[in-house]
Amino acid sequence: MNPLHHIPTAADIRATHEAIRPMIHRTPALTCRSIDEMAGARLFFKCENFQKVGAFKMRGAGSAALRLSEKEKERGLATHSSGNHAQAVALSAKLLGIPAYIVMPDTSPAIKKAATEGYGAEVILCENTLAARESTLEKVVERTGATFIHPYNDYNVIAGQATAAKELIEDAGELDCIIAPIGGGGLMSGTALSTRYFSPGALAYGSEPKAVDDAYRSFKSGTMQANATIDTIADGLRTNLGEKTFDIIQRELEDIFTVSEEAIIAAMRLVWERMKIVIEPSCAVPLAAVLANRPVFEGRKVGVILTGGNVDLGKLPF
C-alpha cells in the first residue's frame, strides 16, 4: 500500500482492512435488550474495548505503519502519547519487527510506561507540556530517523480507524445511523467515511463531553475551535480536532451532541452493569448522547462505537 495523501476512498478503506487484518482482532458487535428498551432503539455496539492494546487505536497505527517504505520501516516508528496510541504504535512496531520510540510525559503512571516497554518500545520521558512533548519528539526523530505516526490528523490513520465501522456494518447489516465519540477526530472521520461508503442510507453522528466541546463548536461555527479546559472524565476526548479530521467531520456529519459528565458516568455504569463489559469513560459518551436524544434515535437501528477498555480500576467514578 502507498501512503494516502487524500481523503480515504472506499477502495482505500477496503485495502487497509485487508492489510491490517493480521494485526487486529475482529471485534464483536454486541446487543443488549435492556439498554434497547431504555433507548427505544436497536443498538449495535462495536466492541473495540476487546481490540488489541484495548482500543481501536491499533487499527490506525497498523494502517500507518504498513504504508511506510522498507527503508522507513527499518528506522522505526515514533510518537508522543501517554495513552492508547502509544501502545498501538509500540505493538505495531513489534509485529513488524521494527523499533518504536515513544515520548511520554514524566507524570505518566509507571504501569503505562511498563506496558509500552513491554511491547519492546523505547520510552523517552519529558515534561508534561505539549511544547516539551513536541520538541522531545523532534529530537528523537532527528536522532533515529524514525517516522512520526500522528494519533489522528493523518489519512493513513483515518483509513485504519474507518475499518471499525466497516466491520460493524458487515456484522449488523445496514444501519439507520452510527454514532462515535470525538477527540482528535480520527475515529469519527473514519466512521463517517465508512458510513457513507458501506451503509449509504445511514447518518453519522458525533458526540462529545460538554466540557471539551471543541468539535461541536467547530462544526456549528464552521471554523476550528479549541478546548479551553480538559476537565472531563472522558480522558480520551480532551484533544482538539486537526485540520484533516475537521474537514471530514464538517463534510460528513449530520450533527454532534454534547453530554454532561453525569450522563457519561451513568452510561458507563449502565454498560458495565447490563452488558458486563469494561469500557473506558470516553466510550460511554455516544450512548449517553443516544439516551439523552431519544426523539432522534427512537425506533432506529443505531451503530455505537465503543472505543476502548483501558481504565484504572483503582479510580472508578462509582
Tell me: does residue 276 bind a copy of itself (CB under 8 A).
yes
CA distances from 10 to 17, 151, 236, 274, 296 (A): 11, 21, 27, 35, 27
CB 318 → a copy of itself: shortest distance, Å?
Answer: 5
HEC string for 210-234: HHHCHHHHHHHHCCCCCCCCCCCCC
CB atoms within 10 A of CB 108: 18
**Per rule CB under 8 A, is residue 50 in the interface with a copy of itself?**
yes
The three cell numbers locating residue 133: 512533548
The C-alpha cell 487524500 sits at 6
Please name the residue that has the C-alpha cell 451503530.
Answer: 303
Q: How many residues does the chain have?
A: 318
Question: Which of 18, 117, 273, 298 touches a copy of itself by CB under 8 A?
Answer: 273
460493524: which residue's cell? 168
Secondary structure (3-state) at 58:
helix
Binding residues for a copy of itself, rule CB under 8 A, total 16
* Closer CB to a copy of itself, 107 or 318, in the complex: 318
The stretch among 13-21, 36-44, 158-166, 265-273 that binds a copy of itself (CB under 8 A) is 265-273
Provide the minimum distance between the beta carbon of 32 and a copy of itself in the complex, in angstroms, as a whole number. Answer: 10
Query: Does residue 318 bind a copy of itself (CB under 8 A)?
Result: yes
Q: What is the rounded distance in angstroms from the CA atom of residue 82 to the CA atom of residue 92?
A: 16
Which stretch in 173-181, 219-227, 272-280, 291-299 sits in contact with a copy of itself by CB under 8 A?
A: 272-280
Residue 262 binding a copy of itself, by CB under 8 A: no
Which residues from 278-307 bind a copy of itself, rule CB under 8 A? 278-279
Residue 150 in grid coordinates? 500522528
CA 69 to chain centre: 25
Residue 83 binds a copy of itself (CB under 8 A): no
CB of 38 to a copy of itself, least distance (A): 13
Distance of closest approach, residue 275 Cβ to a copy of itself, in angstroms: 8
Query: What is the contact surface with a copy of itself in residues (CB under 8 A)?
Result: 28, 49-50, 54, 269, 272-273, 276-279, 309, 313-314, 316, 318
